[in-house]
Amino acid sequence: MVIKKKPNGTKITLHPNGRQVTIRPNGTKIVSKPNGQKITTRPDGLVISQDPDGTKTTRHPNGRLVTELPDGTKEVLRADGTKITTLTNGRVDTVKPDGTTITQFPNGRKVTTKPNGVKIVLRKNGVKVTSFPNGKKVTLRPDGTKIVLRQNGAKVTTRPDGTVVTIKPNCTKIVRRPAPEVVEQPQPV
């Protein structure tokens, strides 16, 4: 083992197996391994690992782990267990500890899948489609229109004015309009 001290106070230890340990005056420790991996530990608890393939992993004192892959993909694992992966094409995948997955696409579309099988798609144009495991599907449009596709195939559309249009599986169409509002006029006495 060879130990070197630099004038600035940096201490370098060379081990027989090729490992090199550098300790700077500020307390930063850098371990360089023979395989090319380099691990830097700062006094504040931040640990940065750089692999020969270009992968860089940073462990923050609060437990957050950030991995940057050579292809540009970035993975963040939060202390609460949430994992966020940002791909080079701009797509962001989030997996929460409860199993909920959220995918945000570059075109603005967002897909959320809950552990119970409910899938929610929010489109860029503001349309929200919720699909349930039993086959029911609910679509909400920005204008307030609500479309429910039931398990039996019936389609119920509720318009912003309160009109309800039901199309049954046998193609029977039923339209219910809201009752007109009755305004009572005061009677002269």
* Range scoring the smallest mean pLDDT among 1-5, 23-27, 143-147, 173-177: 1-5
Taking only the tens place, the pLDDT of each residue in 106-140 is 999 999 999 999 999 999 999 999 999 999 999 99
Predicted local distance difference test score (pLDDT) of residue 21 = 93
Please give the structure tokens belonging to residue 142. 């920005």
Report residue 184 CA to chain centroid gap.
54
Long-range contacts of 114-122 (CB under 8 A, 24+ apart): none
Please give the structure tokens belonging to residue 41. 């530990």
Distance CA 135, CA 117 (A): 11
Instruction: Give bridge partners of residue 164 from the DSSP assignment.
Output: 158, 176
Distance CA 72, CA 90 (A): 10
Predicted local distance difference test score (pLDDT) of residue 185 = 74
- Predicted TM-score (pTM) of the model is 0.73
Please give the structure tokens belonging to residue 186. 């005061």
* pLDDT band at 58; cut points 50, 70, 90: very high
In sequence order, what DSSP letters do the residues of 84-133 get, joined into one string? EEE-TTS-EEEE-TTS-EEEE-TTS-EEEE-TTS-EEEE-TTS-EEEE-T
Q: Nearest to residue 145, comparing CAs of 168, 125, 174?
A: 125
Distance CA 96, CA 53 (A): 29
Distance CA 111, CA 130 (A): 10
Distance CA 52, CA 37 (A): 6
Report the run of H or E that residue 77 belongs to, with start and end.
Answer: strand 74-77
Distance CA 111, CA 93 (A): 10
